[in-house]
Amino acid sequence: MNDHVIADNRKARHDYFLFDKLEAGIELKGSEVKSIRDGRVNLRDAYVRVNQGEVFVVNLHIATYRYTHHFVPEPTRTRKLLLKKKEIEHLIVDLTRKSFVCVPLRLYFKRNFIKLEIALAKKKKAHDKRQTLKEEIHRKEMDKAVKQSLRRKIR
């Protein structure tokens, strides 16, 4: 995989059950691209909204580039996502009919393009979050036990 991850939204993975994932291009200004290359981006409070057949990411924070003087875009402005028409139609159907929300998961470079991975998601309840945490702890303990047993066999 040639993808270089710039930002990851771990909070979304913790707070939501994730379903269909899509890769979207994102419409940016020149200084925003430079700031993203510096890694000055935050996905934590961002969400995806569909408006009049177009898809937008809201509250994606891209810090202002320190050497920009003429045109300085607002850090949390609404940015248009670039998706195919069929993908947008599929997204609209799922968001309305199945009562999903759409959240950004990670921002990354693919070749020389900046891509945003978005996913259809459902909010986890408190007991779901606890269950997920228990499963993760159990999985880590099992991996640790397997590693230790392999070390004993090698000796």
Per-residue model confidence as pLDDT tens digits over 38-78: 889 999 889 999 999 999 999 999 998 888 777 788 888 99
Read off the pLDDT of residues 78-91 as tens digits, 9 standing for 90 and up.
Answer: 999 999 999 999 99
* Confidence label for 15 from pLDDT (cuts 50, 70 and 90): confident
- For residues 85 and 81, what is the distance between their CA atoms, to the nearest angstrom? 12
Rank 65-69, 95-99, 112-116, 145-149 by mean pLDDT and report only the highest.
112-116
- Kindly report the CATH number assigned to the domain that includes residue 31: 2.40.280.10
Q: Indicate whether 41 and 99 sit together in one domain.
A: yes
Query: What domain range is 83 assigned to?
Result: 4-124
Residues 140 and 110 in one domain: no
131 versus 79: which is more confidently predicted? 79
CA–CA separation, 83 and 23 (whole Å): 8
Bridge partners, 125 (sequence order): none
Enter the pTM of the model: 0.80
- Flag whether pLDDT at 30 surpasses 70: yes
Domain identity same for 113 and 133: no
Q: Do 69 and 35 belong to one domain?
A: yes
Residue 115 and residue 137 in one domain: no
The residue count of the chain comes to: 155
Residue 1 clears pLDDT 60, i.e. is over it: no
**Is there a contact between 69 and 36 (Cβ–Cβ < 8 Å)?**
no
Provide the pLDDT for residue 2: 60
- Side-chain-side CA neighbours of residue 36 (13 Å): 25
Do 112 and 145 lie in one domain? The reply is no
